[in-house]
Amino acid sequence: MSQRTVSTKLRVRYSETDQMGTFYNSRALEWFECGRTELLRTAGVSYREMESRGVMLPIIESHVEYLGRAQYDDELLITGAVSMTGKARVRFEIEIVQAETSKPVARGWTVHAVVSPDGKAIRPPQWFLETLS
C-alpha cells in the first residue's frame, strides 16, 4: 500500500525533560502525535477536520524504541508515514532524529481504530481512504 510521508520540526521543551537530563519517555508519544497531525494536514484533511466529519482515530497500540538523547532546546525532525492496515485500522510509522546531526532519537509506530463519535467501529469513508492513499 502506498504511503504518505511528511516531516515536521519541534524543539524540546524544558517541561519535557526529566532529572536524567534527556526527554521523559512518554513525550515520545506526544511527539508522535505531532507527526500524525502534520501528516494528515499535508494529506489534505486535518485530524481536526476528520473529527468534525465524524471519523475518530483512537489509539489501540503504540510501540517506541528509544535510540538517543534529546536535551532541552534541541531541534528535532519528525518524519512519518501513514497507511491502512487490515480493513479498518490505520497505522502511523514515526521516526524522530536530531534536526542538525540526524542522530536518531526515537522511532516507533501506533495503530488506531476508525470509529464514530459514539465509539462504534465504522467502515472508513471513501474520502478518508483517498486522503490516506
By CB under 8 A, what part of segment 83-102 binds a copy of itself?
Answer: none
Instruction: Give the Cα separation of 5 and 8 in Å (integer).
Output: 10
Instruction: Give the Cα separation of 19 and 27 in Å (integer).
Output: 14
b/e sequence 88-121, b meaning 16+ C-beta within 10 Å: ebbbbbbbbbbbeeeeebbbbbbbbbbbeeeeee
Instruction: Give the Cα separation of 127 and 55 in Å (integer).
Output: 11
Can you name the residues that pair with 115 across neighbouring β-strands?
Answer: 56, 121
Please identify, among the stretches 12-20, 82-90, 94-102, 124-132, the one whose residues bind a copy of itself according to the rule CB under 8 A: 12-20
Q: Which of 1, 2, 19, 118 binds a copy of itself (CB under 8 A)?
A: 19
Please identify, among the stretches 61-69, 82-90, 92-100, 120-128, the one whose residues bind a copy of itself according to the rule CB under 8 A: 61-69
Q: Is 18 a catalytic residue?
A: yes
**Interaction between residue 25 and a copy of itself (CB under 8 A):** yes
**Interaction between residue 77 and a copy of itself (CB under 8 A):** no
**Residue ranges that bind a copy of itself, judged by CB under 8 A:** 11, 13-15, 17-22, 24-27, 29-30, 33-34, 37, 46-48, 56, 58-66, 71-73, 110
